[in-house]
A and B are shown apart, each in its own frame.
Chain A
Amino acid sequence: MNALPDALADPDQLLESMPASWRLHIGHKEHCSATWYDSFDWRLFQAGLGLRVEASVEAGNWYLLDLKDDTLLAQLKSSQQPGFANELPELLRSRLGPLLEMRTLLPRLHFHGHRQPLAILNKEDKTLVRLELWRGESRLVESRPAIFVHLQGLKGYEKAAARVRHWCERQGLGHLIGQTQPLIWLQDHGQRAGDYSAKLNFDFQADTPAAEAAMEILGFLLWVMRANMQGTSQGLDSEFLHDLRVAVRRTRSALSQIKVFEPEAIAGFRKGFGWLGQITGPTRDLDVHLLEFPQYLALLPAEHQEALEPLRARIAERQRLAQAALAKELATTECQGLFNDWDEFLQAQTSGRNWSKRGLQPVSELASGRIWRSYLQVCKDGEAIDDQSPAEALHELRKDCKKLRYLLEFFQHLYPQDRMRELIRHTKTMLDTLGRFQDLEVQANSLHSLSEGLFTQGSPGQQAEQLLMEALANEQAKERTLFASRLADLLSQKSVYKKLFANRKEGR
């Protein structure tokens, strides 16, 4: 971070150094406490927005900011804490709801200190520009005070704001200007706004040894798992658990598909991640029920919807219990030990001394071979399915498609991007159909089981539940009808798969 100019070490000196021609209105220095909120995966920041809440006696002052233009988009007072989108004040709900979806807002940076408001006026005593000098501390960094200059130009007075900005820059304060400064300041102190993403984005090259590439993949997935543990344990929002489970599934898939380790060396870890997938299942299933509940209701005629409220309440209660049980499991030494031991194992592999012949081969050879074989398996299983095939056959195909998709995603950057995007898209579309088909059956069974004993015979609730079961069965049948065309799309990619992946040696 740039050194602070001497003038700003004492904001009073800064005031004295301002041009005499400026008509200043100097407000009272006041204590301020501000928190920047965003989702765990920085959805607001990624969308160029910032939400700052300043505590005050009556109610918090909320400021929604455009980070690119450093302008205020909305301002309101509210005594509530930022949380889920559907609980936000109306002014923000429609704007932030689509961005946040099911994620909750969390405090990401806290600042406390003082601010000195200033206004630069014209001869009519009309405010042309507002400035605030912020000086204070942040919990994240203890060593030095944080200094920010909020410069707020007013609509119609842009020239005045530009003149003030220009003066600040000449004083060496340019880098401190901006309401986004706290988030950028995070970056300067070893943390980064926007640093969490579960998206796969690897650096290994085509000729990187397969074991080294596997280490990078597995290391990243371990980071994602660990990053989501606290949020999962606390049940902050359902995406923490979802991201954790996806990372666990990808890890298990990588271990079974990228065979660069001795089986006995990783047997314990495969069992451990299997266990982790298992203990997180019940909570996730209940999360999905709650997330999907509005869609369930939408399947029913309006007059039947309210009767299902007891079912929703029961699901919510079961979810709370499952979440509590999960938190206990995640706190056990078994769980913590799994991550620590896995981390140690991966660290130990990085020396390359124990790599097998397969581990030493270029990753592109391994990747191509695995993808081609995986695709052929999908084709074989898919072509064997007809209208009479049991649901189990589609479930198995789904597993094959997932393996294929994970492989494509792990290694996508090694191949032409536009081709890979298409292949992943087709696989994803197939998986969406298969997933929906399987999930609808599972959900229907689960909902039926959850509603046991809840409604009396012939009651509106029971009628609504029966209607829901019928509706879910219909939806499942619809997905089944889509299967043939999805499979046809996937099979039509054979020549592309062959060109990209076949005839490349996979070391044995």
Chain B
Amino acid sequence: MKIIGIYNIKGGVGKTATAVNLGYISSQAGLRTLVWDLDPQGAASFYFRIKPRLKGQKKLLRGKGDLDSAIKATDYPGLDLLPADFGLRNLDLLFEEFKHPTLQLLALLKPLSENYDRIYLDCPPSISLLSENVFRAVTALVVPTIPTVLSLRTLAQIQAFLEEHKLERLPVWPLLSMVDRRKRMHLEVLAKPPEHSFSNSIPYNSAIELMGEHRQPLLLYAKNSQPANAYESLWQELELRLSETGKKQKGKK
């Protein structure tokens, strides 16, 4: 099982669109896929037309019951969702109750490895104990990043945080997102992208914004559009990187 965190401290950079579209493509490729909507705003849940919960997952996180019982099937075979839970807006406080507060998410995800090949975590825009849990649980971190100076600064902050917490080995893969080739700054960043960026980027395109209207993954209503093709290419590149990461880890053993 591979767990992919879709993460950025900044909001509005395309995290949820990325998680939803990559999750969909993954399931269509035959991989059993779960998207966990960790953001109490519940955008991913909204796209999948699944009601967020009000308080259920707290119990699960306290070990009463298992995460599996909260999972819902989406309308797309092979793709499930762990919906947003408004009760988790103070998740950090919940994690503090445990002996190993930074490892709780990993502990919760482990039992799901039999049922899923890929788990995408749609993370809230914050840097917190939850984020640290994400960093310690995931195989790789995909960081949707708008190609601006400020966004690159945020990327550097994430890297610094990881180094400070001895998480330098975590693969961090920036994804240039909402790219507008009419903007000079975007072109400059594209010409010199951050280290380990995906070669595929996601263009700024109104079709992506329409996800909120259609409440579907992009490929269902805009197949063969530029952003849809971009997500498909991105997914293939992601899978290649994941398999190479897996080989490196095996080699080390």
Residues on A close to B: CB < 8 A? 72, 74-77, 89, 91, 119, 124-127, 154-157
Contacts and interface: CB of A to CB of B under 8 A. Distances in A.
Given A76-B30, A124-B49, A126-B50, A156 B77 contact: no
B75 interface: yes
Contacts of B71: 155-156
Contacts of B70: 156
Contacts, number: 34
Contacts of A127: 75
A72 B77 contact: yes
Interface residues of B, number: 14
B78 A75 contact: yes
A75 B77 contact: yes
Given A75-B30, A75-B78, A155-B80, A124 B73 contact: no
B51 interface: yes
A154 to B, nearest CB: 4
A154 B73 contact: yes
Contacts of B30: 74-77, 89, 91
Interface in B61-116: 70-73, 75, 77-78, 80
Chain B facing A: main interface SS = loop
Interface of B: 30, 48-51, 70-73, 75, 77-78, 80, 215
Contacts of A156: 70-73, 80
9 nearest CB pairs, A to B: A156-B72, A154-B73, A126-B49, A155-B73, A124-B49, A76-B30, A127-B75, A91-B30, A75-B77
A90 to B, nearest CB: 9
Which of B72, B73, B215 has the most chain A CB atoms inside 10 A of its CB?
B73
Given A119-B75, A155-B71, 17 more contacts: A72-B77, A74-B30, A75-B78, A76-B30, A91-B30, A124-B50, A125-B215, A126-B48, A126-B49, A126-B75, A127-B75, A154-B72, A154-B73, A155-B72, A155-B80, A156-B80, A157-B72
9 contacts: A72-B77, A76-B30, A89-B30, A124-B50, A125-B215, A126-B48, A127-B75, A154-B73, A157-B73
Contacts of A91: 30
B56 to A, nearest CB: 11
Nearest to B49: A126
A77 B72 CA distance: 24
B77 A125 contact: no
Which of A75, A89, A119, A155 has the most chain B CB atoms inside 10 A of its CB?
A155
Contacts of B75: 119, 126-127
Contacts of B72: 154-157
Nearest to A75: B77
A89 B215 CA distance: 32
A501 B30 CA distance: 58
A380 B48 CA distance: 76
Given A91-B30, A157-B72, A124 B51 contact: yes
Contacts of A154: 72-73
